[in-house]
Structure 1
Amino acid sequence: MILPIVAYGDPVLRRKCEAIGPEYPELATLIENMWETMYQANGVGLAAPQVGRPIRLFLVDTSPFAEDEDFSPEEQEKLRAFKRVFINAQMQEETGKKWAFNEGCLSIPDIREDVTRQDTITLRYQDAEFKEHTETFDGLLARVIQHEYDHIEGILFTDHISSLKKRLLKGKLTNISKGKVQIDYKMRFPAVKRGR
């Protein structure tokens, strides 16, 4: 089932999310619905708060980046094969050189900005079967994971841009929260009254 994606301005996007256990109600269905929602919106990652759930869960599938000629054949292969569920993730370390990349977000449609992040991360997390992993990721994989990890910490990519750029985007962001944006996927807008 395709779920509505929560738009910028909804308080759920600013909450530090709660850890969950295997007993979380209908978790397998939620994960399945999140994959379906993400693919329908042409995303490469989706975090639970983006569908209104303040829990430490996000998904990543970087295969759409595999066609990008800017990446080496090895990197393309790595991106093509990467599809993962992250539960209760905890950042252990962010290292390496900082690099900028143009990011966007399904909760903030029609806005893309260069965001600088470190190129290597180590993350402790559980998979969909609640098996523990500690893994190091680099390059674009690290970037996508950092973006989704930020969501479960209540951080948006626009928090990483300069205050001048934020001021310039203020009107656009307000319009997004009011539903004044052209999108081709289901969204829930915080400043739109329901029941009309």
Structure 2
Amino acid sequence: MSVLTILEVPDPGLRAVARPVAEVDDAVRSIVADMFDTMYDARGIGLAATQVAIEQRIVVIDLQEPESDAEEAKPVRTPLVFINPELVSVSEETSTYNEGCLSIPDQYAEVERPARCRVKWLDGEGVSHEEDFDGLLATCIQHEIDHLNGVLFIDHISRLKRDMVLKKLAKARKAA
């Protein structure tokens, strides 16, 4: 297992459309393990394979939510693997979340997405699932599926806000 390099804007690889995984085998499970190592190392909650230059439909998510509301509560790891994820349906109701992305480091913007979604996918053993999601998990899975389709969260905001995010990123890079 190893930490992979995360592509950052404006890398054209982030616009690649991932191809479906033909078979969930040891090679795919190895990619999944490396993706989790990479996501945890970068302190993220989701990662799509295209973000690490792997053009396969693989997503890992771990919201790492605390076990309780107590201030000192430690985050609990609950790793989720989505292979060939598909949005089956989305709600008309929307929610807005201040999204960030490991490929656009330390930049955030309010993004409106469907509040709930139904997703179909294979797990790390190749077992098929279909389930409804809401809250942060619904936002996160939609964000990561977007990555597999070559779409970034900044594509969901106005041109003015997108330009501001990219300008702040350029300024931060220059200062580093």
Structure 1 residues 72-101: Cα deviation after superposition (integer angstroms, max 9, x where no partner): xxxxxxx95742100011111110421111
Tell me if structure 2 keeps the 8 A contact 1:8–1:173. Answer: no
Counterparts of residues 1-196 of structure 1 (less than 5 Å): 1-22=2-23, 26-63=27-64, 65-66=65-66, 80=76, 82-173=78-169, 180=174, 182=176
Output the TM-score relative to the length of structure 2.
Answer: 0.86
Aligned AA for 1:98? T
Calculate percent identity across the aligned residue pairs.
38
Identify the structure with bigger relative contact order (alpha carbons < 8 Å, sequence gap 6+). Answer: 1
> Residue by residue, what CA displacement relative to the aligned partner does 1:93-137 show, whole Å, maximum 9, x if unpaired?
110421111110001002111111111101111111111111111
Q: 1 CA distance for matches of 2:68 and 2:14? A: 30
Secondary structure at the aligned position of 1:92 is classed as strand
- Secondary structure of the 2:125 match is coil
Structure 1 length as normaliser, TM-score? 0.78
- Residue type at the aligned position of 1:19: P
Tell me how many residue pairs correspond in the alignment. Answer: 171
How far apart, CA to CA, are the structure 1 residues paired with 2:24 and 2:88? 26
Structure 1 stretches (4+) deviating beyond 6 angstroms? none
Distance 1:171 1:81, change over 3 A: closer
CA-based RMSD of the aligned residues comes to 2.4
Taking the aligned partners of 1:29 and 1:114, their CA distance within structure 2 comes to: 34
Q: Which amino acid aligns with 1:6?
A: L
Distance of aligned partners of 1:105 and 1:67 in 2 relative to their CA distance in 1, 3 Å threshold: farther
Alpha-carbon offset, residue 181 of structure 1: 6.7
Structure 1 unaligned runs (5+)? 70-78, 183-196
